[in-house]
A and B are shown apart, each in its own frame.
Chain A
Amino acid sequence: MDSTGEPIDAREARSALAAACAARVAARKAGERGRPRGYGIGQGLTFAVGFIALGLADREPRWGIWLVGVALVSLTGFFVLLWLGAHHGGVTRWFNRGDGRPGWRAWVVPFIPLAIGIAGALLYGTTGWLVAFGVACGGDYILRANRQARTS
């Protein structure tokens, strides 16, 4: 007898564990199911356009308001596409790599756009940082979308 008030034997415990394991595997598979490539490409483009426009707004004050407007629209589009992409297929991913990548890659890859952004900042100041970071991150989104489309 257990704390639930119902008797449970080892066989039942094993089958319950197997069912839980199967459910987890099914959820992971559903979360990793290939999303249309368009989401990733759209995310990359809107991110890049948004940051480039923000960077140029600093450099071109004459067009500043327009460029900031374009940046806001693009970055809003980026977040909308991010949300839609995450919810595509009815299951959103949980925090696990699950793709057999080595641990160091999961940590190092996100720092590459940051490093490119810092290099841009050292050469051209804030504008350089925004433009370089936007292009690097946008490129990363597009490359990842293409890679996922190839592998799925």
Chain B
Amino acid sequence: MTSPTGGTPPALDRELHHPTRLALAAYLSACGEAEFAVLRDYCQISDSTLSKTLSALEKTGYVSIRKGYLGKRPRTWAALTFTGRKALTRHLAALEEIAATARRAADACAQEEQEEQEEHREEHEVPGA
């Protein structure tokens, strides 16, 4: 597969392939940082699942975790790193490329079918004329 610009096509990122990871990364890409509870409520997953997912993304360097206090309450904040932002951009570009390729193929297929139908119709119309 080549990109329309002729360069190397963007590849899907294994670390962002899972829907929860993608949703987390996309959410974090549109904000500076977000609190653990906000992310858990948005993704509708358990604390332990979110904790594991964030740890996995932190290991890859896509997410940075900050622990602190707001008053006396402990809080955990997550933010997408610069590497994570670049990886997400590449991953989304790869997804768009897949969707666009399928759309082009479907359009080409529909056009071929239409041409075939027209040819077929002409063949049937000529003897009667």
Cβ–Cβ contact A3 & B11, under 8 A? yes
Q: Which chain B residues border A30 with CB–CB below 8 Å? A: 31, 34, 38
Interface string of A79-105 (1 = CB under 8 A from B): 000000011011111101000000000
Contact residues of A between 11 and 52, Cβ < 8 Å to B: 13-14, 16-17, 19-21, 23-28, 30-31
Q: Is the interface of B mostly helix, strand, loop or mixed?
A: helix
Contact residues of B between 80 and 129, Cβ < 8 Å to A: 88, 92, 94-96, 98-99, 101-103
Cβ–Cβ contact A92 & B33, under 8 A? yes
Q: Which chain A residues border B4 with CB–CB below 8 Å? A: none
User: Which of B15-23, B45-53, B57-65 binds A?
Assistant: B15-23
**Contact count A vs B, C-beta below 8 Å:** 104
Of the candidates B19, B27, B38, B42, the one whose C-beta lies within 8 Å of that of A16 is B19
Cβ–Cβ contact B26 & A31, under 8 A? no
- Whose C-beta in chain B lies nearest to the C-beta of A21? B26
Q: Which chain A residues border B30 with CB–CB below 8 Å? A: 23-25, 27-28, 31, 94, 96
Of the candidates A13, A24, A86, A92, the one whose C-beta lies within 8 Å of that of B95 is A13
Q: How far is the CB of B128 from chain A (nearest CB, A)?
A: 42
Of the candidates B13, B32, B70, the one whose C-beta lies within 8 Å of that of A92 is B32
Contact status of A3 and B32, CB under 8 A, knowing A17-B99, A26-B27, A27-B27? no
**Number of B interface residues, CB 8 Å?**
34
Q: How far is the CB of B13 from chain A (nearest CB, A)?
A: 7
Contact status of A20 and B38, CB under 8 A, knowing A10-B99, A91-B31? no
Q: Which chain A residues border B29 with CB–CB below 8 Å? A: 24, 27, 94
Cβ–Cβ contact A92 & B96, under 8 A? no
Q: How far is the CA of A16 from the CA of B42 in the complex (A)?
A: 16
Q: Which chain B residues border A87 with CB–CB below 8 Å? A: 35, 70
Q: Which chain B residues border A86 with CB–CB below 8 Å? A: 32
Q: Which chain B residues border A94 with CB–CB below 8 Å? A: 29-32
Q: How far is the CA of A89 from the CA of B75 in the complex (A)?
A: 12
Q: Which chain B residues border A4 with CB–CB below 8 Å? A: 12-14, 17
Cβ of A108 within 8 Å of any chain B Cβ, yes or no, is: no
Q: Which chain A residues border B96 with CB–CB below 8 Å? A: 13, 17
Contact status of A23 and B19, CB under 8 A, knowing A2-B94, A10-B102, A93-B32? no
Contact status of A13 and B99, CB under 8 A, knowing A5-B14, A6-B17, A91-B38? yes
4 cross-chain pairs, A with B, having the tightest CB-CB distances, nearest first: A10-B102, A92-B32, A90-B35, A27-B30
